[in-house]
Amino acid sequence: MKITLKVWRQKDAQSKGRFETYTLNNINEHMSFLEMFDVLNEELIQKKQEPVAFEHDCREGICGTCNMVINGQPHGPMRGTTTCQLHMRHFKDGDTIVVEPFRARSFPIIKDLVVDRSAFDRIIQAGGFISVNTGQAVDANAIPIPKEVAEAAFSAAACIGCGACVAACPNASAMLFVSAKAAHLNQLPQGKVEAKRRVQAMVKQMDAEGFGNCSNVTACEAECPKEISVVNIARLNREYFSSVVGSETVV
């Protein structure tokens, strides 16, 4: 395959960025998208040029670090797929592919396609945990949890914190991420004790980080590689409201 890449290059957060065009020949259709970038960087290094900086870790669709916007879509055209799990067979010979970093004020660019997503870490530090002392580990079935509750919590826990929801949202909202992280704790018995404090702390930190407001566009769900449901956003709104007015947390 012959592929033309238009890649965003930016030296650092203070520098002005630009698109650079590269042509790659003999790309194997079975390569992953990141393997194709490895080929590009090898060619650039051989030419004594600066390789393209991009993030990756597991390359198994688990860690969420491979944050790229490909032809205008976070993680590319395949639904429920991270960038590292996208393969070149989903493109055609002769295609031009535009690749840029996630765009959000709260995700400042570090270099090229690498952005600083530490805002998510600070949101988790604000309340995405259980601090109740539960003593020693108990048997897995010691606390009865209804099947539908366990499944809902597990579905929310599938969020890998990649930031595609923020990149897809026209308001750069982090509501899908925050709601998923709150939902998987708040629905379980161990997490209900701190549910009110948790939602208030996480929403407060989300606002402090400069993320936009949710306007129910639902682009976040459409682009989420783990297909996290916007139902979690509705739940977070109810739980936040009930925590503020002092009533019981809505289940």
pLDDT digits (tens, 9 = 90+) for 69-122: 999 999 999 999 999 999 999 999 999 999 999 999 999 999 999 999 999 999
Count CB neighbours of 161 within 10 A: 20
Tell me what pLDDT residue 187 has. 94
Please answer whether residues 43 and 24 qualify as being in contact, where contact means their C-beta atoms are separated by less than 8 angstroms.
Answer: yes
Tell me what pLDDT residue 144 has. 85
Structural domains of the chain, ranges and CATH numbers in brackets: 3-110 (3.10.20.30), 118-245 (1.10.1060.10)
**Spatial separation of the C-alpha atoms in residues 17 and 42, rounded to whole Å:** 22
> What is the band of 1 on the pLDDT scale with cuts at 50, 70, 90?
very high
How much is the pTM?
0.92
Is 228 a residue whose pLDDT tops 70? yes
List helix spans (H) across the chain: 33-46, 118-127, 147-157, 164-168, 175-186, 189-192, 195-208, 219-223, 231-245
> What is the band of 251 on the pLDDT scale with cuts at 50, 70, 90?
very low
